[in-house]
Amino acid sequence: NSGGGGGTELSRREDAARQHLSSEANTTRDSGVPLSSVPKHIAVIMDGNRRYGRKRYGSATRGHWDGSKTLADFAKWCMAEGVQVLTVYAFSTENWDRDPDEIAALMAIFVRYCDELRQEALTRSIRLRVLSSETARIPEDVAAGLKRMVDETAHCDKFLMNICLSYGSRGEIVNACRSVASDVRRGTLDVQDVSEAVVAERLLTGGCPDPDIVMRTSGEMRISNFLLWQMAYSEMFFVDKTWPEITKEDLVGVIQNFAGGRKRRFGK
């Protein structure tokens, strides 16, 4: 918004988000699932922000703001339950085709939110990583905020959050294949030694365990070019709520279902 009221509203929402980030709300362990049965890695397709914003506020952008608060909450809930890694789909390579005004608003949110998330992550010892298959398209101010966020939390070791931004899984796999081909051409890798492990270590998630759970909100039942390689044996959960509406009870229900009702056989 260009008017003064819009700026006041944004400042109010930022202050509220800052206080909420640093609060201890919902940081108790509620699932009752033994830690050995808790998923180590949860990946989330955070869908429905625009729909939620239009329905509640008449503004898709405000839906994205509420979605960013839900992400901070969700990370706290995961930590409380004993999850070790959270990977979230924040902005896909296909999202660059959206309306330019919406993209500009989203990028503004990323710039502001990077700083809030960085401070929260340092407080809670959360390591933040950004996974991008097309880095060149990220605006300079956003890239600078992301780099500071990543660099300053590199030493944190209580929890890992991967933020997929300007990310597409097919592009990620192509980039990994290019890296393999380059090494084969240089003679530093024999073609007979190319294995799943060699490809996996060149993916953006290299060194990170594959997700035990992939969760998608808003009732859609699509993968949308997200972690196609990594989710080979992930359990899928589709939640019929938009992302800003997700509660800790929803996460607890998914963890309990995973631990108690689903048997992972890995093809055996």
Q: Catalytic residue numbers?
A: 47, 95
DSSP character string of 32-74: ---GGGS-SEEEEE---HHHHHHHHHS-HHHHHHHHHHHHHHH
Angle at 119 between CA 115 and CA 123, to 5 degrees: 165
CA gap 138, 115 in Å, rounded: 17
CB atoms within 10 A of CB 149: 24
Instruction: Tell me the two tokens of residue 67.
Output: 């979605």
Strand partners, 128: 161
DSSP character string of 192-260: GG--HHHHHTTSTTTTSPPPSEEEE-TT-----SSSTTTTTTPEEEE-SS-GGG--HHHHHHHHHHHHH
C-alpha distances out from residue 58 to 43, 80, 119, Å: 29, 34, 31
Q: Where are the beta strands (DSSP E) in 77-234?
A: 85-92, 126-131, 159-167, 213-216
